[in-house]
Amino acid sequence: MLHDFRRIDWDEWRDAPDRRREAAVSSGRTYLAERSDLDAGETAVFTVAGHKADLLFVHLRETLDAVERAERQFEATDFAGFTEQSTSYVSVTEIGGYTAPEYFEDPASVDPGIRRYMETKRYPEIPEDVYVSFYPMSKRRDPEYNWYDLPMAERAEMMAEHGETGKEYAGQVTQIVASSLGLDDWEWGVTLFATDATALKDIVYEMRFDEGSAKYAAFGPFYTGRRFPPGDLGAFMAGEAVPTGETEASLGGSTDHGETEASPGGTAIHGEAGAGHGTDPAGSAGDTDADADDATPIREELSDLDVYGGKPHGEDVYALALYSEADPDELAEEVFGLRENFEHYDTHVKTAVYEPREAGTTAVVSIWETESAADTASGFLVELPGVVGRAGADGDGWGTMGMFYTVEADHRTDFLETFDEVAETLASMDGHRDSRVLINREDDRDMFIASQWDSREDAMAFFRSDAFGDTVSWGRDVLVERPRHVFLA
């Protein structure tokens, strides 16, 4: 990861003829557009407020060589002739081992949801349309407060406290923490992102009171600005507002700044140099079928039955579900606290707790309009108490992750009795693993059916069956709205 800070020579820019300025802007736009969405990394550009710099280019690549090459390629543009590098910062994204040693001992044994979230720390994405705050930091080695003299357990406890503070900013602040031990002058570089600039100030302020920061953290200079698209480079140079067209920012889930690791709870923390290095977003469960083209027939067939089918690749909603063995009251309290933060974002559709009718695990379902928002939310949801897995997480089967039905109050009992009849049919079908109905603890008319199958074709055999068609036809008379099915491959 390279943070490349640039100052503009405004005197030279004002004195340059229009032709030269136009060529410079064009070269800068082309450079950024070609590097903003690479298969193996990305480049983003930000304004910088104050005297320290005018622009910040952030480069994420798979190797140090590729990062350095991106820097040289910028120097070859006409636009670079109007800039000079005021400072820079070289680091590497990583997964540290503070709170999840089992990940490094046997990654395959870790819950897939947690594993995918942890991989987002290794392979992060840069959020769009956000304010940014970057600062380097190190852990103190003073005679009185030497972080590296502390036992591992004591450090982990302080970082857990740090994580609790960060959870309060779920849905408001997200971050990339990258290690620079041996690469640059400080030990870590922290890049915070938020759609509300004041949240950047608030989270840093609150975390200064955590013992891990108050006693053991040393901070470098702070840089603050706003991301804008490559096409707005000319507007930036003309002194106009950027981004020129406001777009809705996706949820970035907060993490706390702490030592580099996402705990099984999902909050990332400033890390000591640790385990894997790299840069892919992974993380949330989408409503995605594995392939968009293959998914089309499923959606069409359901549509013929007047059933909504969740669309993959951001066309509609993305959803994720987790299951917990925790006390439902304790779980709900945690979920509702997260939901208060999630609801700050228009990309949030729904987060709810569904309880089984009898014994069994409780489900937490969260639905979002964008994949990146679901990715971020997953990091906070896997931190809930007692999490044991996700839909589709066991084995290599395929799951219809959610079938959501809102039932007319007078027909609630009828609906549950009908489900029980259908369940008998399901039990005899090839490839069926499990189907159960759970009920929203805040609205007992809202039903969530989790159904798992060995394969997509096994599930579709049921969707194509007369039993399913008859149930849907009957359901039109008892449901408040069109049923929604969200798929998880």
| pLDDT(87) > 90 | yes
pLDDT value of residue 352: 93
| H helix intervals, 90-151 | 101-105, 112-122
| Topology agreement, domain 2-237 and domain 292-488 | yes
Between residues 293 and 112, the one the model is more confident about: 112
| pLDDT(286) > 60 | no
Q: Cα separation of 43 and 158, whole Å? A: 34
Domain at 292-488, CATH from 3.40.50.10810, 3.40.50.20, 3.50.50.60, 3.30.70.100: 3.30.70.100
Residue 359 pLDDT grade (very low, low, confident, very high; cuts 50, 70, 90): confident
Fold category of 2-237 in CATH? Alpha-Beta Plaits (3.30.70)
In three-state secondary structure terms, 432 is strand
Q: Answer yes or no: are the C-beta atoms of 218 and 137 closer than 8 Å.
A: yes
Tens of pLDDT, residue by residue over 319-346, are: 778 888 999 999 999 999 889 888 877 7
The reply to whether the predicted model has a pTM over 0.75 is no
pLDDT value of residue 221: 97
Tens of pLDDT, residue by residue over 95-113, are: 766 655 556 667 666 666 6
Helical (H) or strand (E) element with 409:
none
Give the mean model confidence (pLDDT) for residues 299-317.
54
pLDDT value of residue 114: 64
Angle at 417 between CA 466 and CA 473, to 5 degrees: 35
Residue 202 structure tokens = 């608030």
Residue 385 structure tokens = 């108490």
Residue 254 pLDDT grade (very low, low, confident, very high; cuts 50, 70, 90): very low
- If you average pLDDT over every residue of the chain, what do you get? 79
Q: Cα separation of 229 and 6, whole Å? A: 17
Helical (H) or strand (E) element with 468:
helix 466-475
Q: Count how many Cα atoms sit within 13 Å of the Cα of residue 356 in the half-sphere of its side chain.
A: 13
Q: Answer yes or no: are the C-beta atoms of 65 and 243 closer than 8 Å.
A: no
Which 3-state string (H, E, C) describes 355-407? EECCCCCEEEEEEECCHHHHHHHHHHHCCCCCEEEECCCCCCCEEEEEEEEEE
| pLDDT(163) > 80 | no
Q: Cα separation of 210 and 166, whole Å? A: 11
Of 31, 103, 123, 135, catalytic: 135
Closest by Cα among 115, 116, 91, 106 to 4? 91
CA distances 159 to 99, 207, 267, 278, 385, Å, are 9, 11, 10, 23, 18
Which residues, other chains included, contact 420 with Cβ-Cβ below 8 Å and sequence gap of 6+?
none
Between residues 407 and 280, the one the model is more confident about: 407
Concerning whether 145 is annotated as a catalytic residue, the answer is no
Give the mean model confidence (pLDDT) for residues 185-201.
94
CA distances 333 to 165, 344, 385, 479, Å, are 17, 18, 11, 29
pLDDT value of residue 75: 95
Q: Answer yes or no: are the C-beta atoms of 225 and 61 closer than 8 Å.
A: no
Q: Domain extents for the chain?
A: 2-237, 292-488
Tens of pLDDT, residue by residue over 59-75, are: 999 999 999 999 999 99
CA distances 377 to 242, 297, 361, 367, Å, are 27, 29, 21, 9
Give the mean model confidence (pLDDT) for residues 474-480.
74
Q: Long-range pairs for 422-427 at CB < 8 Å and ≥24 separation?
A: 422/467, 422/468, 422/471, 425/465, 425/467, 426/451, 426/462
Locate tokens 């108050």: which residue? 214
Between residues 138 and 113, the one the model is more confident about: 138
Q: Cα separation of 215 and 210, whole Å? A: 8
